[in-house]
Amino acid sequence: MAKIKYYYDTETCRYERVRVSLLDVALNLAGLLIVACVIAVGLATLYNWLFPSERMAELLRQNRELMLKYELLDKELGEADQMLGKLQERDDKLYRVVFEADPIPNEVRKSGTGGSEKYKNIINERLDNESLILTALSKIDQLKRKMYIQTKSYDELSQLAKSKAQMLASIPAIQPLRKEQATFSSGFGYRVHPIYKIRKMHTGCDLSAPKGVPVYATGDGVVIAAGWDSGYGNAVEVNHGYGYVTRYAHLSAMNCRVGHKVKRGQVIGKVGSTGLSVSPHLHYEVLHNGKYVNPVNYFYQDLSPKEYQQMLEISNQDRQSLGGGH
C-alpha cells in the first residue's frame, strides 16, 4: 500500500495531504524510462565490448586489418618518396652536371595537382576513415606528380646524351694523317711563306707525307666544298656542326663530293702538292665559329700526353711553312 505523504501548510497551520497529479506521475515515469534506457544502453555497450558478437568481432577484425594495411601503405609511400628523392638528387647533382643542364627547381618538383580536395566529391562522407583515405590519395597524387616530372627530366637527359654523343663524334679530335705516315712540319701562327718568302699568318698546320697517303676526316660532318681552291689547290671542307669546319688542302685526289656525309676516320682524299706547295704535304685547318684555331689543340684523341706535348713544342717553333692558301 502506497504511503500517504503530508506537508505543513503555513497558512492554515495544519498538515495537508500531498496530492499527486497525473502529469507528475507521467513525468516521473518518463524519467525512470530514460534512466533505464541509458543504463540499458551502457550495459549493452559494455557487454558487447566485453563479449562482442560474431559479426561485431568480424567487423573489428576487418577494421584492424584495414588500419594495418593503411600503415603498411603509408610506409611504402614514404619509402617510395625517399627513393624518388635520391633519384632527383642524382639527377640534379650528377646527370645534369655532366650534360651541362640546369637543375630542376624545387618548387617545380614539389608542385602538387590539387591536393586531396578534388577527391572529396567521390568519397562517401559517411566513411569513418575518410581523413585517412584522403591523406593516402593526396600522397599518391604527389608521388605521381614527382614521378612524372622525373620521367620528363630523363627524356630531356636522353636527348642531351644523344646530342652530346653526336657532338663528341663531330668535333675534330684526331690527326688527318696516321702518325706513323706523317711528320709534323709547320704549326699555326706567323711563318715564312715558301713562295713569297715573307712572314705571313699560317692558318693551319702542315703534315709532311708521301704523295698518295690517305687523308682522313677528323670528325663526323658534311662536305661543303670539294675542288680546286686557288692557293690551296685541291681542297676539301667539312662542316661538322657545333661551329666547327675543317679544311684539307694540296690534295692529289679527293674521295668525296659536296653533300656527302662523312664519319670520323673516313678517307676523303690523298696527300699531294697542288696549289702553292713546295713538296707533298697536307695543309690542315680548323675553324670554330668562323675563326681559325690551332689544329694541334684537337689532336688529343690519338696522341699520348708525351706525344701531344712534343707536337705542341714543334708547333710553336718558327719554321717555314710548306705551302700557302689564299
> Which pLDDT score is estimated for 267?
96
Least confident of 36-40, 104-108, 124-128, 232-236: 124-128
Taking residues 200-205, what's their average pLDDT? 80
Ranking 54-58, 169-173, 247-251 by mean pLDDT, the lowest is: 54-58
Quote the mean pLDDT of the chain.
Answer: 80
Q: How confident is the model at residue 25 (pLDDT cuts 50, 70, 90)?
A: confident
Average pLDDT, integer, range 281-309 = 82
> For residue 7, what pLDDT is reported?
62
Range 183-324 classified under CATH 3.40.50.720: no
- Each residue of 123-138: pLDDT tens digit? 555 455 667 777 777 8
Q: Provide the pLDDT for residue 120.
A: 56
Mean pLDDT for 149-169 is 84
* Mean pLDDT, residues 91-103 taken together: 76
What is the band of 52 on the pLDDT scale with cuts at 50, 70, 90? low
d(CA 275, CA 296): 23
